[in-house]
């Protein structure tokens, strides 16, 4: 593992059980500052479960992770948001009856100072903060490419615009780590390519990105490093070219037998073929 100061998030031996079901088992990984890190795996591999542990929605049954130098085991989502982890969801979770601008303004909540008294008195400091929030929200809408529909209700935006709006709202928290749960789901090829450019721009501006995505072709062409889960265990981690050729990864996706394969077989996310198939699809958690 690289020097500690270069590691933004280090997950150590994370396990998660739901009753008698083991969704994650002894998963360790590290995400370096300033990289795009991909998390893939066939259906039921445990990707979203790990994602939910790292963003506070689930508490791990065992293990812990260190983020920006602080250890966490049982942290709530708002605590991790304040620490610098922002996320989106696989299923879009916008405030449908609020405008695009208002949705992004809500994302600034964890960085505001005006409390109940400020809201009641509406003093100068509160008014100045409200103006700053509005301007920042407009900046972020321009940044993700949906400035014109700022005053349109979120439910009336196109699907691709809603995905970008979720990213803008997450960026409004000023994250160190932007965690995206299948942001390209449902997008056409043009929208996916535009998303790829946006994520590269976000990374170039100093924000680390953690990405779950069923589009393995996008992952392999975008990420600096990739981890692969299968049956709740990490089976590979490295640069995309190495991961693509890993026998355990090929087995997980295509059903070939290796010593690390599950006795149940693989092939749960991609139809049979060759290793090249890994560039054309994947599976949901």
40 membership: H or E segment, kind and range: strand 36-40
- Whole-number pLDDT of residue 44: 87
Taking the C-alpha atoms of residue 279 and residue 63, their distance in angstroms, rounded to an integer, is 32
Range of the domain at 134: 95-162
Q: Is residue 186 located within the same domain as residue 264?
A: yes
The dihedrals phi and psi of 46, each to the nearest 5 degrees, come to 110, 10
- Distant-in-sequence, close-in-space partners of 230: CB < 8 Å, separation ≥ 6: 41, 42, 45, 248, 252, 262, 266
- Distant-in-sequence, close-in-space partners of 164: CB < 8 Å, separation ≥ 6: 144, 145, 146, 195, 198
Last-in-domain residue among 141, 162, 183: 162
Asked whether residue 194 carries a pLDDT value surpassing 50, the answer given is yes
Output the domain CATH number for residue 266.
Answer: 3.40.50.300
Rg (CA), the chain: 20
Last-in-domain residue among 130, 162, 194: 162
Q: Is residue 179 located within the same domain as residue 281?
A: yes
- Whole-number pLDDT of residue 4: 72
- Whole-number pLDDT of residue 95: 94
Taking the C-alpha atoms of residue 114 and residue 223, their distance in angstroms, rounded to an integer, is 39
Other CB atoms within 10 A of residue 270 CB: 22
Asked whether residue 167 carries a pLDDT value surpassing 60, the answer given is yes
Report DSSP state, residue 278: G
Q: Is residue 252 located within the same domain as residue 204?
A: yes
Q: Is residue 28 part of a domain?
A: no
Q: Is residue 168 part of a domain?
A: no
Q: pLDDT category, 174, cuts 50, 70, 90? A: very high
Per cent of the chain over pLDDT 90 is 66
Q: Is residue 202 located within the same domain as residue 128?
A: no
Q: Is residue 231 part of a domain?
A: yes
Q: Is residue 199 part of a domain?
A: yes
Report how many domains make up the chain.
Answer: 2
Q: Is residue 130 located within the same domain as residue 156?
A: yes
**Do 161 and 149 meet the contact criterion of CB atoms below 8 Å apart?**
yes
Q: Is residue 208 located within the same domain as residue 259?
A: yes
Last-in-domain residue among 162, 186, 211: 162
Average pLDDT score, the chain = 86
Note the pLDDT tens digit of each residue in 88-136: 988 899 999 999 999 999 998 876 766 555 555 666 777 777 889 999 9
Taking the C-alpha atoms of residue 158 and residue 146, their distance in angstroms, rounded to an integer, is 10
- Whole-number pLDDT of residue 252: 87
The pLDDT of 30-49, averaged and rounded, is: 94
Q: Is residue 127 located within the same domain as residue 228?
A: no
Q: Helices 189-204 and 159-171 meet at what angle, rounded to 10? A: 10
- The residues pairing with 227 across neighbouring beta strands, listed in sequence order, are 39, 237
Q: Is residue 270 part of a domain?
A: yes
- The residues pairing with 153 across neighbouring beta strands, listed in sequence order, are 99
Q: Is residue 280 located within the same domain as residue 200?
A: yes
Q: Is residue 73 located within the same domain as residue 195?
A: yes
**Pairing mode, strands 62-67 and 177-181:** unpaired
Asked whether residue 65 carries a pLDDT value surpassing 60, the answer given is yes
Pick from 68, 53, 73, 81: nearest CA to 212: 53
Q: Is residue 55 part of a domain?
A: yes
Note the pLDDT tens digit of each residue in 255-280: 655 444 444 444 454 433 344 445 44
Q: Is residue 247 part of a domain?
A: yes
Q: Is residue 186 part of a domain?
A: yes
The pLDDT of 56-72, averaged and rounded, is: 94
Q: Helices 159-171 and 100-107 meet at what angle, rounded to 10? A: 30
Taking the C-alpha atoms of residue 162 and residue 171, their distance in angstroms, rounded to an integer, is 14
The pLDDT of 29-43, averaged and rounded, is: 95
Q: Is residue 113 located within the same domain as residue 219?
A: no
Q: Is residue 233 located within the same domain as residue 257?
A: yes
Q: Is residue 113 located within the same domain as residue 210?
A: no
- Whole-number pLDDT of residue 64: 92
Between 6-15, 141-150, 214-223, 265-274, the lowest mean confidence (pLDDT) is in 265-274
Taking the C-alpha atoms of residue 189 and residue 203, their distance in angstroms, rounded to an integer, is 21
């Amino acid at each position: 593992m690289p020097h500690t100061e270069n590691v933004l998030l280090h997950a150590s031996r994370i396990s998660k059980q739901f009753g008698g079901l083991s969704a994650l088992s002894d998963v360790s990984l590290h995400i370096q500052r300033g990289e795009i890190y991909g998390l893939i795996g066939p259906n039921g591999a445990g990707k979203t479960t790990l994602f939910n542990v790292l963003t506070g929605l689930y508490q791990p049954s065992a293990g812990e992770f260190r983020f920006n130098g602080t250890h966490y085991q049982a942290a709530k989502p708002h605590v991790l948001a304040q620490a610098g982890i922002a996320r989106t969801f696989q299923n879009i979770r916008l405030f449908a009856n609020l405008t695009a601008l208002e949705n992004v303004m809500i994302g600034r909540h964890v960085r505001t100072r005006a409390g109940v008294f400020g809201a009641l008195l509406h003093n100068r400091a509160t008014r100045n903060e409200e103006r700053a929030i509005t301007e920042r929200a407009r900046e972020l809408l321009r940044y993700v490419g949906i400035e014109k529909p700022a005053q349109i209700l979120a439910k009336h935006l196109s699907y691709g615009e809603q995905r970008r709006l979720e990213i803008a709202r997450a960026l409004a928290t000023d994250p160190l780590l932007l965690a995206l749960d299948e942001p390209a789901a449902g997008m056409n090829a043009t929208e996916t390519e535009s998303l790829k450019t946006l994520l590269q721009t976000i990374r170039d501006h100093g924000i680390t990105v953690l990405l779950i995505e069923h589009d393995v072709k996008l992952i392999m062409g975008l990420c600096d490093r990739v981890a692969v889960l299968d049956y709740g265990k990490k089976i590979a981690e490295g640069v995309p070219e190495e991961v693509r050729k890993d026998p355990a990864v090929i087995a997980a996706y295509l059903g070939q037998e290796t010593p690390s394969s599950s006795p149940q077989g693989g092939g749960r996310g991609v139809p049979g073929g060759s290793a090249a198939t890994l560039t054309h699809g994947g599976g949901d958690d």
